Chain A
Amino acid sequence: IAGITQAPTSQILAAGRRMTLRCTQDMRHNAMYWYRQDLGLGLRLIHYSNTAGTTGKGEVPDGYSVSRANTDDFPLTLASAVPSQTSVYFCASSEAYSDTGELFFGEGSRLTVL
């Protein structure tokens, strides 16, 4: 089934640990995004990638890093997790960054940092 796959779907993590959230898409979309969603707040952009080999910072990039080695994969890494990073993380893609087309979202990764 075409779309975006995220892993893990849920994780409990001790503060200070390193964690990578995986995201893979099979739609050959150029642009990919990582958002976090917290209760009472809108989706907030963490990092994005216009195309393979390039990445950019979003609204809340601190404490997170990304890479885009190829078109399909866009992992998000928390180098040293803190409790404020407890959230639901959504990976998304679109055909192009400067695009008025829709975003396609993965099912989300629920992360709890203790």
Chain B
Amino acid sequence: GQNIDQPTEMTATEGAIVQINCTYQTSGFNGLFWYQQHAGEAPTFLSYNVLDGLEEKGRFSSFLSRSKGYSYLLLKELQMKDSASYLCAVTDSNYQLIWGAGTKLIIKP
């Protein structure tokens, strides 16, 4: 079966750095996405990785290792507005998106 695993909840301190991990087992791989979803709102796109390595976009970076079926999202200089759920999703060989259940990130002052 196809599976995406990510921690259910994480807590971090304002101004700090947090890493949210995602491991996946899918039939084929055509890319990995990270989305941010604030409570009661729609998911919004953060990043896309298809090759191994680190993609940096401002305070957010996303890493991919295809051989390990592993990705992480790194958030630096955390702000209170970063409190949200972070969704990992993988595109399989049929270009279907398989979604993780999301990681709820709580930022404390």
Contact = CB atoms under 8 A, between A and B. Distances in A.
A13 interface: no
A62 to B, nearest CB: 17
B102 A42 contact: yes
B100 A42 contact: yes
Contact of B101 (A41, A97, A106, A108): A41
A103 B87 CA distance: 13
Interface in A17-50: 40-45
Contacts of B91: 100
Nearest to A108: B42
B33 A102 contact: yes
Interface string B12-44: 000000000000000000110101000001111
B96 interface: yes
B79 to A, nearest CB: 23
Interface of B: 4, 8, 30-31, 33, 35, 41-45, 48, 50, 87, 89, 91, 95-102
